[in-house]
Amino acid sequence: MENTDRQEFEFDYVGFGTRIGAAIVDILIIVPIVLIIVFMFKDIIIQSKEYSIFFRIIINILLVIYKIFFNVRYGGTPGKLATKIRIINDRGCYITVDKAFLRLLPSLFYTVVSASAKHSVGNDMGIGLSLLLDLIIIFDVSFIAFNDKKRALHDYLAGSYVVTNESLLRRQGSKSKDDIY
């Protein structure tokens, strides 16, 4: 027998524009920090190509940690928090570390391959590879426009959804104790 006391709850899913706004806020936070680090270590960085590559790897690792930490702990990076959106799983909970990592796979792939292309292949080949990678990123985010839950390819990989904080709070307020645990 179906329980009719429970009402089906629908989240307010977030589209491309708000996600871009969140990304801009994150950039405004991250870029000054990176510039300070670059300035502090500029003498080491400009010594050789190897130091430059090593420095890029360190910065990218820090960015991955930043994104995973905030997505798991707070349901989004500071940019998402500022734009009042959250990343959740299909149960309405913040995503786990493994799911946060899966969400990053397309951008990590892009970063690693484009950095490798710049340092190891010829200029024409590197430009062609960069264009191909740009198309992959466009393909990833274009998914948002073509499904009712506004999920990008990386959301499908991680089983995640980007929703308004308001709809998440409404949902949490409507859950019974049994639904939460």
Residue-wise pLDDT tens digits, 61-114: 999 999 999 999 999 999 999 999 999 999 999 999 999 999 999 888 877 777
114 lies in some domain: yes
Query: How far is Cα 134 from Cα 91, in angstroms, rounded to an integer?
Result: 32
Residue 47 covered by a domain: yes
Confidence at 123, pLDDT banded by 50, 70, 90: low
| Domain, as residue range, for 100 | 16-172
Give this prediction's pTM. 0.80
Per-residue pLDDT at 119: 62
Is residue 8 included in any domain, yes or no?
no
Report the number of distinct structural domains present in the chain: 1
Average pLDDT, the chain: 83
Please check the confidence at residue 118 and state whether its pLDDT lies above 70.
no
Higher pLDDT, 124 or 8: 124
Q: For residue range 128-143, what is the model confidence (pLDDT) as tens digits?
A: 777 777 788 788 888 8
b or e along 111-142 (b: 16 or more beta carbons within 10 Å of the residue's beta carbon)? Answer: beebeebeeeeeeeebeebeeebeeebeebee
Q: Is position 24 within any domain?
A: yes
**pLDDT given at position 175:** 57
* pLDDT-derived band at 5, boundaries 50, 70, 90: very low
Q: Tell me if 96 is assigned to some domain.
A: yes
- Asked if the structure places residue 178 within a domain, the reply is no
Question: Is there a domain that residue 179 lies in?
Answer: no
